Each structure stands twice: as C-alpha cells, then as structure tokens.
C-alpha cells in the first residue's frame, strides 16, 4: 500500500500510532526519521527539528530512577540492628569512659569534695536524658523521622565530647554532660523505634536483644580503655578515642535506608517485566520451545506475579520490601494522641508495666549509687589507680555478654515471672558483703555478682513494658523505649547524687551505700512476685492451693460415695 502527496516522498510502510507518538511527541501526526521506513519532510523549522531529535525514547516513556547503591544490605534488618547497636555502644562508651578517671581529674584541678562533684556531673548527664526524652519521643512519634535525627544526634555528641575534653571550668563540664544526655535520648528512643519499624515482627525481639548488647559492650570496654589511656597518655586520650568511635558511628548512620523510603522508591519506580533478567531469559527459552499459535492464546497471556523482584542487580526481593507491615497497619488505624506524661501514667497503671518501671528504676539507682564512690573506695582502701578501677568494671560487665542472651531466651520461653524475682533474691547477699575490705579479689567478685544479678533482673523489664504498650492504643514503640529511658535516667541521677553525698558527708559512707542498696532491693521483691509475667507467681501459688483443696474435696466425696454403696 502506498500514498503520495505533493512535496512528500512515498512511504512503503505506514508507522503505527505508537511509533508516531514515540518519534515525535509534540506532533504525533508528523513522524521524524525512524528505523522502520523512509522519512517524510515536515513543515517545521530546523530549531524544532533539533529539539525533537534530542528527545530520547526512554525519556519520553519516563526513565526509571536507578536503585540506591547497596540498597539490599543498607535496608536489611541486620545492618539497621548493627547501626543501632553501635549507637548504644557509643552512648554508653562516652558516658562510662570518664567514670574511673573523673575523680583523679578533679583532684588534679584542685577541686574538693570529689565524690559530690563527680555525682553532679553524672547527674547532669541523666537529667539531660530525663528532660529531653519525652519531648523527643512525642515529636518523632508525630513526625516519624528516623535517620536524620540519628545523624544530628551523633554530631551533637561529638561537640559535647570536645567541650568536656578541652574546657576545665566546672560549669562547662556540667553543660557538656547535659548535652551528651540530650543526644543520648535519640538513640534510645528513635534508634529502637527504627528497629521495630524496619524488622519483621517475628524477629523484633531478637534484634532488640542484639541492640541491647551494646550496653554490655560499652560497659565492658569503656572503663579499662579510659583508665589505661588516662594513665599512659593523659586526660585528652580517652576523649580522642570517643571522637573516633563517634565518627565511625556517623558514617554507618549515613548509610541507613529505611523501609518506608524503599517503599516510596518502589511506588515511584515500578518494576518493568522486561527488566527482570532471570525471568526474561526463561521466557525467551519457553517461547522458543512453544509453537507460535500457542503464544497468541489469550488463556496463557494473563500475567503471573513474580515471587521475587530484582532491582538493578541489587537482588532486592519482595520480602525485603515488606518488612514493616505492622507499622503500616497501625497508620491505617485511628490515631490516638497521648501526651508524654500520659504515656508513662498509662503504662504504670498496669501492674506489669509498673513492675517493669520499678525494677529498671532500682537497677539504675544502684548503678548510680556506686558510680561516684567505687573509684574512691578502691583508691582509699587498696591504693589503686584509674587503670585498675577500669579492670574492676570490666570484671563486672564481662559476664553480661553471656548472661544477657541467656536471660532473654529464658524469659521468652518460660516468662518474666521466673527471671525477675529469683535474680533480685540472688543479688541480696552480695551487696552488704561488699563492706568487707580484707581481700581485693573477693571485693571484685562480690561486686561482679551483684551487678550481674541486678542486670539479669532488669532484662525482662523491657519485655513487660512492651507487652503492656502493645495492648494500649496511642502508645507506639518509640513511646515505650522513651518511658524506659526516663525511668533509668531518673534512677541513675538520683542514685549518683545520693551516693556522692553519702560517701562525702557520712562517717561510714560506703557502709551506708551498701546497706541502702540491700534495702531497696529487698523492698522491691513483692512487685515481681505479684505482677510480673502472663501468670504471676502469686497467682500460680493461689491456683496451686485451690487445686490442692479441690483434689482433697474430690477424694473425700469419692470416699463418701464408696461408703454409701
């Protein structure tokens, strides 16, 4: 078929409408040069021809943006968990690394009442956490940013470390510790919420357990590193080490890709069937084997959804894209807004939530009691320096590497009621025995046993608060971690002030600290006995007595029936 017109050449094959649209999107009735026939002479000027020639077919159809580099591992559960774990480690490291060296530094600066001044520096850090946690949690619950606040927080932390390292004025040291505490709130609230929102629900508990191991890592490595660096290289060395760790932490946070960003990219860049190389090759083989008449069968032309989607060679699958379905379902529900304090009151109104808060409070309180006084106790009784004090903290923190995962697994399998109460009871005898001063090795063992027992008791507390939060409308993951952080911050700040004042102003300050720790632990025993777990020990005991009574009554009734017969 051929058509002729004045001023035009003969076209052997007419292009289709789609080809005309592709060749010239501005005027589809006038085709440009194409590879399926000869050209026509359009009545357009050269400028318009140049503009049309610059338009490429893939630009006309809408070119899909390339997937971010390393999208598979940058958005994976394990990478996000690693980033949060390192963030927790960095936070604990910058806080704890000064504990064994701070009294010596204040003595070198000719300060007096060293224990009291040390306690106020520790208090400033905790009060920064306390004042900033609830506003941070409330804001980032309402505006769910995750990656950017984590990046800003670690930069602020580095600035605070530099201030504490370089300026010797006491009020500046207090201010820098407050800033460190404020930046810490982001990791403990936004960081753990990042895990909950980007990890499949069945693995959330496991990943949070790994992230909490950052506490053990920080507590284990910080005191010996701080003491050794201070003893060998001076005051600046521990903080230079902290700045290096913060820089590594910052780099890893920059690499994080959240699942919500990944889903937004997927919606904006739908996957074309032709871009799936594995499936495309299989289709070519199948079509080569199938007769041509079967290829046109409408029954076989229905698309089948692929089980996996590959994006630009990154190997990203649908399982990676749909990791946080729970967070999406929550967004679809009606949003219930709770004020920051209302969140804590709501959780604490439950017996399980109150028990979780209280055990966390007791653990933080006892840690705070010993932090400003332990270094001075070892120095005054056994005349040891900062590097040795770091080894004492190492001996107490190292067992938590093993005990933490074991306690978590036991709590998941048997319930928190079988963990919290026995661990609190196990901590009781070692606390007053720390008064003894005959053996340094014995003192280290007693301190380690008490710390490990209290840490194991507080381990299931987070699980208790989580279970209460999930049953309460208006409380999300960021709320529950913020609430736990507030409980710990309040307790450590109060403990640091009480411990420092006791040690400095009482004639037997260390004895008073040990007995106070014993008393507050013993006072806490009824709560986990009555409230902790799905079926608390108190309820089990009541049901056991009732079951025994029912069994006895059944035996008596059966005996009466035998007598009557």
Give the residue among 175, 135, 221 at the shortest CA–CA distance from 393: 221
Residues 416 and 520 in one domain: yes
Token duo for residue 411: 């709590």
301 in a domain, yes or no? Answer: no
Residues 43 and 121 in one domain: no
Distance of CA 451 to the CA centre of its chain: 24
Q: What is the pLDDT of residue 161?
A: 93
The CATH number of the domain holding residue 422 is 1.20.1250.20
Residues 55 and 87 in one domain: no
272 in a domain, yes or no? Answer: no
Residues 85 and 109 in one domain: yes
Give the residue among 368, 100, 118 at the shortest CA–CA distance from 225: 100
Burial label for 337, CB within 10 Å (0-12, 13-18, 19+), is exposed
Q: What is the pLDDT of residue 27?
A: 46
Q: How many whole angstroms separate alpha carbon 68 and alpha carbon 531? A: 48
pLDDT digits (tens, 9 = 90+) for 464-508: 877 777 777 767 667 777 778 788 888 888 998 899 889 988 889
Give the residue among 335, 67, 75, 331 at the shortest CA–CA distance from 200: 75
Which distant-in-sequence residues (6+ apart) come within 8 Å of 224 by Cβ? 387, 390, 391, 393, 394
Residues 239 and 382 in one domain: yes
Give the residue among 281, 300, 277 at the shortest CA–CA distance from 290: 300
Residues 53 and 141 in one domain: no
Q: What is the pLDDT of residue 296?
A: 46
313 in a domain, yes or no? Answer: no
pLDDT digits (tens, 9 = 90+) for 541-552: 887 766 566 566
Q: How many whole angstroms separate alpha carbon 155 and alpha carbon 172? A: 18
Domain that holds residue 441: 77-261+338-536
Residues 372 and 241 in one domain: yes
Q: What is the pLDDT of residue 511?
A: 94
508 in a domain, yes or no? Answer: yes
Residues 150 and 38 in one domain: no
Residues 50 and 106 in one domain: no
Residues 44 and 101 in one domain: no
107 in a domain, yes or no? Answer: yes
497 in a domain, yes or no? Answer: yes
- The stretches of 399-476 forming alpha helices (DSSP H) are 400-414, 420-427, 430-433, 440-458, 461-470
- The stretches of 506-536 forming alpha helices (DSSP H) are 509-523, 526-531
Residues 352 and 476 in one domain: yes
Name the helix (H) or strand (E) containing 377. Answer: helix 351-382
Q: How many whole angstroms separate alpha carbon 340 and alpha carbon 123? A: 22
Residues 90 and 146 in one domain: yes
Q: What is the pLDDT of residue 4?
A: 43
Phi, psi of 477 (to 5 degrees): -60, -40
Q: How many whole angstroms separate alpha carbon 389 and alpha carbon 443? A: 12
- With a cut of 50, which residues of the chain have pLDDT below it? 1-15, 17-62, 273-333
558 in a domain, yes or no? Answer: no
Q: How many whole angstroms separate alpha carbon 463 and alpha carbon 472? A: 15
Name the helix (H) or strand (E) containing 348. Answer: helix 340-348
135 in a domain, yes or no? Answer: yes
Q: What is the DSSP letter of 41?
A: -
- Predicted structure pTM score: 0.65
Structural domain total, the chain: 2
């Amino acid at each position: 078929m051929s058509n002729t017109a004045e001023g035009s050449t003969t076209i052997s094959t007419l292009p289709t409408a789609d080809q005309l649209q592709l060749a010239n999107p501005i005027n589809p009735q006038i085709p440009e040069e194409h590879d399926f026939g000869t050209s026509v002479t359009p009545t357009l000027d050269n400028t318009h021809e140049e503009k049309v020639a610059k338009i490429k077919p893939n630009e006309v159809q809408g070119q899909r943006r390339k997937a971010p580099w390393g999208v598979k591992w940058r958005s994976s559960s394990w990478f996000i968990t690693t980033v949060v774990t390192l963030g927790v480690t960095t936070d604990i490291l910058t806080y704890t690394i000064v504990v064994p060296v701070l009294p010596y530094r204040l003595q070198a600066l000719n300060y007096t009442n060293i224990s009291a001044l040390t306690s106020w520096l520790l208090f400033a850090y905790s009060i920064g956490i306390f004042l900033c946690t609830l506003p941070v949690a409330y804001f980032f619950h309402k505006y769910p940013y995750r990656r950017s606040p984590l990046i800003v927080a670690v930069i602020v932390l580095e600035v605070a470390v530099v201030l504490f390292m370089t300026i010797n004025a006491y009020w500046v040291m207090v201010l820098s510790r407050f800033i460190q505490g404020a930046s810490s709130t982001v990791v403990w609230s936004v960081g753990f919420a990042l895990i909950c929102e980007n990890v499949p629900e069945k693995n959330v508990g496991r990943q949070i357990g790994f992230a909490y191991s950052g506490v053990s890592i920080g507590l284990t490595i910080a005191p010996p590193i701080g003491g050794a660096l201070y003893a060998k290289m001076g005051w600046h060395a521990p903080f230079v080490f902290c700045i290096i760790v913060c820089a590594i932490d910052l780099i890893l946070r920059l690499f994080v890709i959240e699942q919500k960003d990944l889903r937004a990219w997927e919606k904006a860049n739908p996957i074309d069937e032709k871009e799936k190389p594995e499936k495309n090759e299989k289709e070519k083989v199948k079509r080569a084997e199938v007769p041509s008449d079967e290829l046109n069968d409408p029954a076989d032309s229905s698309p089948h959804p692929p089980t996996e989607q590959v994006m630009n060679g990154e190997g990203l699958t649908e399982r990676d894209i749909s990791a946080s379905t729970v967070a999406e379902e929550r967004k679809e529900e009606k949003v219930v807004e709770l004020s920051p304090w209302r969140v804590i009151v709501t959780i604490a109104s439950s017996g399980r939530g109150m028990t979780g808060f209280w055990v966390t409070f007791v653990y933080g309180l006892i840690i705070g009691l010993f932090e400003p006084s332990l270094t001075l106790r070892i120095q005054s009784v056994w005349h040891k320096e900062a590097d040795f004090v770091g080894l004492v903290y190492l001996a107490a923190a190292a067992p938590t590497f093993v005990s933490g995962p074991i306690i978590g697994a036991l709590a998941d399998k048997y319930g928190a009621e079988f963990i919290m109460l026995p661990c609190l009871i196990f901590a009781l005898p070692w606390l007053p025995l720390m008064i003894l001063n005959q053996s340094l090795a014995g003192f280290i063992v007693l301190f380690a046993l008490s710390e490990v027992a209290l840490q194991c008791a507080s381990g299931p507390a987070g699980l208790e608060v989580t279970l209460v939060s999930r049953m309460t409308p208006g409380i999300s993951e960021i709320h529950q971690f913020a609430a736990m952080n507030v409980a710990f911050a309040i307790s450590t700040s109060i403990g640091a002030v009480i411990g420092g004042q006791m040690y400095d102003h009482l004639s037997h300050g260390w004895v008073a600290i040990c007995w106070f720790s014993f008393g507050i632990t013993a006072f806490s025993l009824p709560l986990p006995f009555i409230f902790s777990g799905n079926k608390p020990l108190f309820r089990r005991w009541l049901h056991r007595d009732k079951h025994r009574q029912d069994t006895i009554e059944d035996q008596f009734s059966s005996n009466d029936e035998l007598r009557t017969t």
